Structure 1
């Protein structure tokens, strides 16, 4: 059954031209390499995932860089503290 005067169906959203969340994720990933990897690394991964859901162009880099910063920051922290305490 058809109803008169119905609006057109919603159009899909075009991809986002902004890369703001992706860049925030990349910066957080770089910060995670030096300062508090669990906090900044996970925050960067979340920003990258949100950027991917919004269709940002740099979203994969916004996920991979924080993941690498998280892992490398944890390894670097382990090596530094192991060297400090001669364990």
Structure 2
């Protein structure tokens, strides 16, 4: 059954920040453990959260990129100090 005379009701804004928080946590974990895996997963969560309009999405992307880059740099220096290349 169709109701053609119903007025348009916009969707309420998204108040959930679940994916953003997951992206932030993954970005922080990427600093210490397996940066390529957790950093990229955090970036993906942040981008999906941004498409859903979550408030903390840009923070999640930034933290994940920083965790990825800094984790790779830290891993490089630790590898060099352990194996003395």
Normalised by the length of structure 2, the TM-score is 0.89
- Within 5 Å, give how 1:15-54 maps onto structure 2: 15-54=13-52
Aligned length: 83
Alignment deviations for residues 29-81 of structure 1 (CA, whole Å, 9 cap, x no partner): 00000000000000000000010011111010011000000000000000000
* Larger Rg belongs to: 1
Q: Where does residue 13 of structure 1 map in the other structure?
A: 11
Q: Distance in 2 between matches of 1:10 and 1:80?
A: 58
* Unmatched segments (≥5 aa) in structure 1: none
CA RMSD of the aligned region, Å? 1.5
From 71, 74, 77, the counterpart of 1:76: 74
**TM-score with structure 1 length normalisation?**
0.87
Residue aligned with 1:33, SS: helix
Residue 8 of structure 1 deviates from its aligned partner by 4.5
Structure 2: where are the runs of 5+ without partners?
none
